[in-house]
Structure 1
């Protein structure tokens, strides 16, 4: 286990800056996930930690050593890539031991480390097989084992599950989580899949355009997003956003007007606990997650159902509300048909407000409320 610290890390490719002064401290044994859309800089940041990209400014410390200028082989890190990158002409056992054989590690040590990695990853039945004889999940386990035998201070994962099918991704997520529990090692994992981030991480680092938007435990980010970007990225299906107008304050709550499908005459006023006092007439954004909306025929807030997605235990209604798209989660079996008008009710304490700069201005909700 090792501590990892990034101090004001920047990266430029010529005149283009892709990482803008990232400060981050990762504790020994933490599982931290870098998440964000394509092009946000998460893989570049990981490659700088690994030593595969140079740092333009700032410093990187691993186990309290300044490794900013060290070669990858001197950093005591192991990286698992998106592609397995296994040698096709070698068996799984030979792939696991290749790096150690090149460094002329004693045979007894090689056998011990390969045996331990194979036991942890349940690879014993496949050691004599070549990659072409293995499934995608088995190949990825060999790639993880190759990192494991190096006894690194930090494990780095660069979207390791993106080439697997949906069923294998779920299985490998569980295996990686189990591996972290067994080893207690420091792990950094890059993904664009927020489901992977929520299920694997001790803490999530949300990145956008080379900047850290928010760092926190998965449910803290889900419940208390710092801004509209984080609120929309964390959670599946994502949070609904509706343009609203502030109409005043009452009992430390901001009153906003939401338009239903009936236009101006269908506006409904809602009250949201708010940490600031927007002026009447201010244009704001209201956020509400699909699971915090219910179908209520008595509600004055009317929406039109566009389509219905039934997934067994839950269903999703995709509606139009005041010209805006809205997703509603339902556990009912009797669902309205597309084209029907329904009443919708919002859970008041689960409403979020964002200002014109997309910053959260509603009173943050304690995690226990979710």
Structure 2
């Protein structure tokens, strides 16, 4: 296991700066996921850690050793790419051992490492098959095994599941999580899929435009996003954001009014800061924290119903504002009908005109 430290990391391509002073400390054995939309800089940051991109400013330390200017071969890292990048004319065993054979590692040591990796990844039945004879998941396990045999200080994963179908992605997520538990290794994983981030990470690093928006455990980010961007990115379906009427502040509470088709409702929300412009407040509520209630003055029109079995999602129009509601069980409303909605007052968020969350912290329901 090894720690990793990024200090004031910047990256410039020509006159365009893409990474804007990243500071991050990753602990030994930690599984950290970089997540964010396309173009946020997560893959560029990973490639700088790997030594595949130069660092314009700042420093990188792995296992308390500065590696900023070292080539990839001297950083004691191993990387798994989005594409499997396997040699098609070699067997799985030959792909696993190729790098060690090129470095003239002792044959007994090669055999030991290949055997260990194949046992961990359950590749023994496939060692004599070539990539064309393997499934996508088996190819990805060989790619992970090729990293595993290097016995690195840090594992780097660059969107390794993007080329797999939905069912196989779920299976591989479980295998990668199990691999981390067994190895207790330091891993950094890049994805645009927040479900992968929530499933795998000890900590999530949310990136936007080359800057860190927030770092924290998955459920901590879910319960207490720092701003509207993180609140909308973490959670699926994403949080609803609703314009409110003029807010009133009193002590450590803010009262806002939300209009519906049949009336309005007031909500009083504990806050850590008072808004400078109450008229620009945005109310946030997740789909699972909205209940159907016939007696509620908040009336909305159901536009679309998404049926997923035990759980369904109602996409509604609330006085001109889009709203997603999670619904369980029978009695599913039909598109075009009007329903009453009740927002769970203890689960509401409030964001100011700068998109910063000003509502008080909520308890984290589950430690990761």
Q: Do Structure 1 and Structure 2 share a fold, with TM-score over 0.5?
A: yes
TM-score (norm 1): 0.97
Displacement, 1:364? Answer: 1.1
Tell me the secondary structure at the aligned position of residue 365 of structure 2: helix
1:130-149 → structure 2 map (5 Å cutoff): 130-149=130-149
Distance 1:345 1:36 in 2: 31
TM-score (norm 2): 0.98
Distance 1:178 1:277 in 2: 45
Q: Which residue of 2 aligns with 1:235?
A: 235
Q: Which residue of 2 aligns with 1:109?
A: 109
* Residue-by-residue CA offset, 1:160-210 (whole Å, 9 max, x unaligned): 000000000000000000000000000000000000000000000000000
Q: Which residue of 2 aligns with 1:85?
A: 85
Distance 2:2 2:310 in 1: 42
1:207-286 → structure 2 map (5 Å cutoff): 207-250=207-250, 252-262=252-262, 266-278=263-275, 281-286=278-283
Distance 1:78 1:328 in 2: 43
Q: Which residue of 1 aligns with 2:198?
A: 198
Structure 2 CA distance for partners of 1:297 and 1:216, relative to 1, 3 Å: same
Q: 2:305 aligned with 1:308, yes or no?
A: yes
1:31-46 → structure 2 map (5 Å cutoff): 31-46=31-46
Q: 2:352 aligned with 1:355, yes or no?
A: yes
* Residue-by-residue CA offset, 1:284-315 (whole Å, 9 max, x unaligned): 11000000000000000110000111111111
For the 8 Å contact 2:158–2:190, the answer to whether it is kept is yes
For the 8 Å contact 1:46–1:190, the answer to whether it is kept is yes
Tell me the secondary structure at the aligned position of residue 246 of structure 1: coil
Q: Which residue of 1 aligns with 2:121?
A: 121
Displacement, 1:253? Answer: 2.1
Tell me the secondary structure at the aligned position of residue 84 of structure 2: coil
Displacement, 1:340? Answer: 0.6
1:326-345 → structure 2 map (5 Å cutoff): 326-345=323-342
Q: How many residues end up aligned between the 2 structures? A: 367
Q: Which residue of 1 aligns with 2:150?
A: 150
Distance 1:53 1:280 in 2: 43
Q: 2:263 aligned with 1:299, yes or no?
A: no
Structure 2 CA distance for partners of 1:74 and 1:223, relative to 1, 3 Å: same
For the 8 Å contact 1:303–1:322, the answer to whether it is kept is yes
* Residue-by-residue CA offset, 1:190-248 (whole Å, 9 max, x unaligned): 00000000000000000000000000000000000000000000000110000113331
Q: Which residue of 1 aligns with 2:8?
A: 8
Tell me the secondary structure at the aligned position of residue 69 of structure 1: coil
Q: CA RMSD in A?
A: 1.2
For the 8 Å contact 1:246–1:279, the answer to whether it is kept is no
Q: Which residue of 1 aligns with 2:318?
A: 321
Distance 2:261 2:274 in 1: 28
